[in-house]
Amino acid sequence: MNAPVLALHNLAISFGGVAAVDDVSFAIGRGDFFGLIGPNGAGKTTLIRLISGILTPNSGRVELLGEDVTHRSTATRVRRGLALTHQIVRPFRTMSVLDNVVLAAGHMRTVDPLRALLQMDRHAERERAMSILRQVGLAGAETKLAGSLPLGQLKRLEIARALALDPTVVLLDEPLAGLNNSEAAEQIDMIAGVNASGVTILLVEHNLEEVIRASRRLIVLANGRVIGDGVPHDVMRQQDVRAAYLGESVETYAAG
Amino acid sequence: MFYVDLAISGIVFGCMYALMAVGLTLVYGMLRILHIAHAAVFALGAYVTVLVANASGSILIGFIAALIATPLCGVAIYRLLYQPLLHYRPDVPMIASIGLLVLMQDGFRILFGEQGVTFLKNPLAIETVDIAGITLNLAQIAVLIVTIIIFLALHLFTTQTRIGVAWRATVSNPRIAASFGVDAIRVRYLNFAIGSALAGVAGGLIALLNNFVDPTIGYVVSYKALAIIVLGGLGSVRGTLIASLFLGVIESYGTIFIGSYLNRDAIAFLALILILMARPQGFTGARTA
Amino acid sequence: MSAYTISLLSIVGINVILAVSLNIISGFCGQISLGHGAFYGAGAYAAALVAIATRNLPLALIAGMLVGSVLGLIVGFASLRVRSDFLAVTTIGINFLFTGFVRKQGWLGAEMGISSIPASGLGASGNMIMIELFAAATIALSLYVNASWMGFAFRAVAEDEDAAATLAINGISYKLVAFALGTALAGLAGALYAYFTQFINVDAFDFITSVMLMAMVVIGGIGSTVGVAIAAIVLTLLPETFRFINEYRLLVFGGLLVLFISLAPGGLASLFHGTRTRLRR
């Protein structure tokens, strides 16, 4: 296997004595497509926050391209090649769709405010943003205000913004949430296309069917621990994975 | 006895701040709006008390008039200014509120004169009593008694009556209260009416205490009340009461010990800024929005 | 030009610098500051002291800018710790703290203020031209900032700081730069004011001044340099041209503020960062 671009080593964090993430380790190689699933309360959101730098673990390390970033800010991690999309989309609503992506494409210019002050040219970034918008299927929407887009397109805009950062690895947090079946299938095909162009993907999703279809490796989280790790179809046949999920679906059913 | 006198005068000021600030903290708890124009309602209470007392010859009638005028004013502010702005960022209604304060304060100046107004007859500010060697004037005693009665009544209202309980629930968690069928709009009107009435009484009391009302009366008090509700842990009546008394006493001693470096108002803000920096969520940290 | 016109134009120029600089902090970067008067005042006092000590115009202007921006950086650090509406309260506090402090300082003239500030040596009209040049430069700088990548990132920080972080934009350093830049210009305005009046009193830098400046920014269309500059000019000239308005100056300002926000809250809010408003019904 090639050198990992993102590696987690024995990550652990607890809140008020309850372990939310407990000794989680895995490594994603360049060009991989990882799916991360788990029932509600499994610790997925906490793990995402640890990877993105919103939370700092009680113990363990996060490495990006072999470098320890456990105590680095989100902005620093992004500069080192990590890109994030949010489960709840957060575009800059008062900017145009194009500007949203241009700003991301110019991330090397905005690292330092004073250097940013000395730069005005946006030509190259506009070109790049246009080509990314075409890649995610948003060509034609570039002059619209981001706030006016429907959810499906906003999800694409999030991904476009992430891609414009020229990332080594993209962490996608529920990019299918809120989409209908055909939209979700379309979206996952687009993501698979992005992966085919060489971008490493870590996909955190609720939609099992699509994750299993698209990812090459699947990690299952339950009660903060990794309970399954391997080729998707093999993992889904594991006894404890089925128990974790069936247990949940029974509960969900009862609650519903 | 000097230090005891200072403490008492601090507590009297603290009571006034508390009456003024409670309305503010309740509005913040319910709507997340920094209702700075509350100070204009307070000033209105002061003016109405003095003017009606002078016209009728009875300070009591003055207070009753203030108790009618200020809730109406408060509810009107909510309905006309804030309600259309509820869906915007909290800074938007706040800046509108500052605009309204400036507008109303200047309106009072134009209507009632640069010099302000004084009671024609105010025996309470002159007559004093000695209690255990401490000299208090009747106005100070009135402030203490009225404050105690009001806070007791408020406590009973919010624990013993149906609408009071609904009100308290809405302040501490608007969403949950709504899901229990509390009529949010009615509770908001109630909130502004009661908060404004308390500010009106506070205005009347400060007029009694100082024996005059001038056009700038609202400004300093308003920002001080903001300081207090932040210190008190926003949305908490008890925290506000404690912070008010605390600030009143601190100011009293502060003017003696550091009064040559800072004036009374600056002391309050110094305390506020220091505490905000140390505890961004406020004194009691009761609410983290 | 009459002495009256010259003095009027000087005040207009100073207010343009103040409003445009506040717009950099509150409009571009979304940090609501209601204490701009304090930075203005700090610059004025610093320049007055340096002018009296050295009689050197450039030195006094630099001192004003420096003191304004140092104070601004301190407040900028404070802004990192508190939410937006608390930031507004904190900046109000800074303004009261400033005036309360100055009133008790004998070396700053306490309630009396500082008189006998030396003349700039440029004459009244030369002084006015200097002020207008600085005002023009401030407008140009503001337009440039907005067109640069810094202005682009400001908009992102103003709208959603966390989302900006996912684009590798460090909100903290941008906020500090906005405060340092905006307050340095306020300090410069203070220094120009000190030379213009040759007498300063703390009343000129009180909270009401800060509110008036915020009114100029809001009415001019928060975030728009040209709009804010025009609002500053109009709102300065209005009470001077119509003398009867001067008596009711605050009434007019307060009324306009309420009116503009009530009529156009959406425009206002969307240029503040509109996405994070919580919907409550």
With tokens 């390390």, the residue in question is A61
The token pair that represents C188 in the structure block? 């410069």
Query: Could you tell me which residues come within 8 angstroms of residue B232 by beta carbon, excluding any fewer than 6 positions away?
Result: B21, B25, B238, B239, B240, B241, B242, B243, B244, B282, B283, B284
* Chain centroid to CA A222: 19
* Chain centroid to CA C150: 20
Predicted local confidence at residue A253, as pLDDT: 40
Q: CA gyration radius for chain B?
A: 18
The token pair that represents B215 in the structure block? 């056009």
> Cβ–Cβ of B107/C280 closer than 8 Å?
no
* Chain centroid to CA C6: 22
User: B171 or A31, which is more confident?
Assistant: A31
- Kindly tell me if the per-residue pLDDT of C81 is higher than 80: no
User: C253 or C99, which is more confident?
Assistant: C99
- When divided into structural domains, chain A yields a total of 1
How close A158 comes to chain C (CA, Å)?
10
User: A111 or B219, which is more confident?
Assistant: A111
Chain B residues with CB under 8 Å of C82 CB are 276, 280
DSSP of B114-140, one letter per residue? TT-EE-S--HHHH-EEEETTEEEEHHH
Q: What are the tens digits of pLDDT across the range A20-62? A: 899 999 999 999 999 999 888 888 889 999 999 888 999 999 9
The verdict on A148 touching C (C-beta cutoff 8 Å) is no
User: A187 or B176, which is more confident?
Assistant: A187
User: C18 or B159, which is more confident?
Assistant: C18
**DSSP 3-state of A63:** strand
The verdict on A78 touching C (C-beta cutoff 8 Å) is yes
Q: Which of A114-123, A245-254, B228-237, C13-22 has the highest mean pLDDT?
A: C13-22
Q: What are chain C's domains?
A: 3-276 (1.10.3470)
Predicted local confidence at residue B289, as pLDDT: 32
Residue among B92, B105, B267 minimizing CB distance to C268: B92
Sheet holding A82-85, edge to edge: A82-85, A169-173, A200-204, A33-37, A217-222, A225-230
> Cβ–Cβ of C103/B261 closer than 8 Å?
no
Domain range summary for chain B, segments of one domain joined by +: 20-217
Mark which residues 9-48 of C lie under 8 Å from B by CB.
32, 34
- Distance between CA atoms of residues C182 and C92, nearest Å: 16
Chain C residues with CB under 8 Å of A95 CB are 155-156, 159
Predicted local confidence at residue B24, as pLDDT: 87
Q: Across all residues in chain A, what is the average pLDDT? A: 87
The chains found to touch C (3+ Cβ pairs under 8 angstroms) are A, B
- Distance between CA atoms of residues A119 and B285, nearest Å: 44
On whether the CB atoms of residues C168 and A111 are closer than 8 A, the answer is yes
Stretch C258-275: mean pLDDT, rounded?
61
> Cβ–Cβ of C170/A75 closer than 8 Å?
yes
pLDDT band of residue C85 (cuts 50, 70, 90) is low
List the one residue out of B224, B252, B266, B219 whose CA is nearest residue C99. Answer: B266
**pLDDT over 90, % of chain B:** 26
- Kindly tell me if the per-residue pLDDT of B243 is higher than 80: yes
How close C123 comes to chain B (CA, Å)?
37
> Cβ–Cβ of C274/B88 closer than 8 Å?
yes
Alpha carbon separation from B274 to A108, A139, B231 (Å, rounded):
37, 52, 10
Mutation pick from C258, C259, C270 vs chain B, by most beta carbons of B within 10 Å, is C258
Predicted local confidence at residue A247, as pLDDT: 65
How close A100 comes to chain C (CA, Å)?
9
- Kindly tell me if the per-residue pLDDT of C267 is higher than 60: no
How close A238 comes to chain C (CA, Å)?
36
Mark which residues 113-172 of B lie under 8 Å from C by CB.
none
- Kindly tell me if the per-residue pLDDT of B191 is higher than 60: yes
Residue type, A118: L
* Least confident stretch, A105-109, B218-222, C102-106: B218-222
- Distance between CA atoms of residues B253 and B264, nearest Å: 10
The verdict on C255 touching B (C-beta cutoff 8 Å) is yes
Query: How big is the A-C interface in CB pairs under 8 Å?
Result: 100
> Cβ–Cβ of C93/B289 closer than 8 Å?
no
Stretch C84-108: mean pLDDT, rounded?
84
On whether the CB atoms of residues A83 and A160 are closer than 8 A, the answer is no
Chain A residues with CB under 8 Å of C177 CB are 113-114
- Distance between CA atoms of residues A240 and A218, nearest Å: 14
Q: What are the tens digits of pLDDT across the range A127-158? A: 999 999 998 888 888 899 998 888 888 989 99
Chain B residues with CB under 8 Å of C269 CB are 88-89, 92
How close C94 comes to chain A (CA, Å)?
26
Q: What are the tens digits of pLDDT across the range C47-66? A: 999 999 999 999 999 999 99
- Kindly tell me if the per-residue pLDDT of A256 is higher than 50: no
How close C81 comes to chain B (CA, Å)?
6
**pLDDT over 90, % of chain C:** 49
Predicted local confidence at residue B199, as pLDDT: 92
**ipTM of this predicted structure:** 0.80
Nearest CA in chain B to C88: B91
- Distance between CA atoms of residues B40 and B98, nearest Å: 10
> Cβ–Cβ of B89/C276 closer than 8 Å?
yes
User: Does B have 3 or more CB contacts under 8 Å with A?
Assistant: no
- Kindly tell me if the per-residue pLDDT of A228 is higher than 80: yes
- Distance between CA atoms of residues C168 and A81, nearest Å: 10
Chain A residues with CB under 8 Å of C148 CB are 116-120
Q: Which of A33-47, B68-82, C207-221 has the highest mean pLDDT?
A: B68-82
Predicted local confidence at residue A83, as pLDDT: 92
> Cβ–Cβ of C262/B96 closer than 8 Å?
yes
The chains found to touch A (3+ Cβ pairs under 8 angstroms) are C
Stretch C212-230: mean pLDDT, rounded?
87
User: A40 or C84, which is more confident?
Assistant: A40
Predicted local confidence at residue C266, as pLDDT: 53
Nearest CA in chain B to C222: B92
pLDDT band of residue B129 (cuts 50, 70, 90) is confident
Q: Which of A16-20, A161-165, B234-238, C184-188 has the highest mean pLDDT?
A: C184-188
pLDDT band of residue B114 (cuts 50, 70, 90) is confident
The verdict on C157 touching A (C-beta cutoff 8 Å) is no
Predicted local confidence at residue B270, as pLDDT: 80
- Distance between CA atoms of residues B159 and B82, nearest Å: 28
User: C203 or B260, which is more confident?
Assistant: C203
CATH classification of the domain holding A226:
3.40.50.300
Chain A residues with CB under 8 Å of C153 CB are 103, 110, 113, 116
Predicted local confidence at residue A103, as pLDDT: 94
Predicted local confidence at residue C274, as pLDDT: 39
The Cβ-side half-sphere exposure at A143, using a 13 Å CA radius, reads 1
How close A226 comes to chain C (CA, Å)?
26
Count Cβ atoms within 10 A of the Cβ of residue A219 and give its class: 0-12 exposed, 13-18 middle, 19 or more buried: buried
Q: Across all residues in chain C, what is the average pLDDT? A: 87
Mutation pick from A117, A145, A171, A172 vs chain C, by most beta carbons of C within 10 Å, is A117
- Distance between CA atoms of residues B226 and A13, nearest Å: 38
Q: What are the tens digits of pLDDT across the range C112-124? A: 889 888 888 888 8
* Least confident stretch, A34-38, B126-130, B278-282, C111-115: B278-282
Chain C residues with CB under 8 Å of A107 CB are 167-169
Phi/psi at A5 (nearest 5 deg)? -90, -30
> Cβ–Cβ of B262/C101 closer than 8 Å?
yes
User: A84 or B232, which is more confident?
Assistant: A84
> Cβ–Cβ of C254/B266 closer than 8 Å?
no
Range of the structural domain that residue A82 is part of = 4-255
Predicted local confidence at residue A15, as pLDDT: 87
Predicted local confidence at residue A255, as pLDDT: 38
The verdict on A82 touching C (C-beta cutoff 8 Å) is no
User: Does A have 3 or more CB contacts under 8 Å with C?
Assistant: yes
Predicted local confidence at residue C168, as pLDDT: 86
- Kindly tell me if the per-residue pLDDT of B65 is higher than 80: yes
The two counts, helices (H) then strands (E), for chain A are 10, 10
